[in-house]
Structure 1
């Protein structure tokens, strides 16, 4: 009995070594399989690297223009641009007519002054103003003054004032220019008063002249524009007075002050000499 015990006890360690060997065996097989798989995947990785290098080489060979266009096309639109596009799509109505979509043409720019350009007004009396002055209704005092000045300056005007004739004959003399050569008197009647000339009026005027002159003279009357009539002399004197009166008012300090203070303007047509 004592000799059989060692045999049984020695059998146990043998069993444990076998068990440990059997347990460690799968680990060795797993390690072996992993090494085999890594060795098999190495050629595939090398091929991928080669393809990546080829792609990179192709991209580098492309021109700068190609890169810019690709980069531009590939770049996504920003958030603000997408919002703006979305807003435009919402605002545009599909029911709008073509006429509504037409934009109004822009007006051509034209320069305009900010302030009106002031034009200097000359103080000289224009021919139109002089013509209006001829139509002015003169006061009796002004009429008498003009006759007095005309008589003092012109012999023919003084002679007409001494005539004792009818008013129509007097108007014939006042509207005629006088020229005398010896016993020949020539009168040039203005065309606007040609209706005053007739044989009776000429005879009456000739008699009145002979009476005032104290001698016999022959009278000849023609229609024309030569010379200056007594009425034209009076009007010329009146125009001189009108020009002087207008200039006096325009240069008057009080009138100038009123024009500046109240933004007023002198009415030249209302000016009358005194």
Structure 2
């Protein structure tokens, strides 16, 4: 009886391995301005895919007609922090070996308590969630940069149970994909699956930003602006300084077309498993 060759298994994404997410569960890891967006960086309310990873371009573009069978993610960990912002002193009388002594003792009289997950829930929507998405390139239209159409979606995945872990999730319902399709994740709320980008990195990812009708906003007043208050040049709607991270742009409907004009340094911590079509 002749042997039957198994269909090749193909991994896409994670070319340089999945780096540690920036949210690592360390107390005070959230110190930044605004709070929660410092060293603990999360993906927020958008759809993303990597465009460069460790020198490999378009790492999650499907190389051959195949079936999408699994998703692997390295998920960060959120943690509350308690930071002393004011110290005071008071007299303490103690008796040591029969001798009474007075001394100044330092203590914290004011704390800054920050509930990290509660902040993200309140700011971006309750619960950390992602949804696998398959995108297909669309013909460029006037004024657009990189158009993609949603051709398939996986189930919504709640990440809380996976905080601080690397996980592989097999799809209960596999998804057929074509050569040239791009696989990514939609994040309707927030997801701690983003490492800190090192200085000078060539790694990059794209997002379905800005949403239609978005206007850059002054980071201090929150009012719409046309000029960058620092450089006095036209305000970039993709810049995280001008409020785009708080604008909903995630894609959750098949057939939807979006312009992935915004790109950012680094690479999200996910990859996918395909089985090539026979």
Q: Which has the higher contact order (CA 8 A, sep 6+)?
A: 2
Q: Considering the TM-score relative to the shorter chain, is it more than 0.5?
A: no
Higher fraction of strand: 2
Of structures 1 and 2, the larger Rg is shown by: 1
TM-score by length of 1: 0.19
**TM-score normalized with structure 2 length:** 0.19
Higher relative helix content: 1
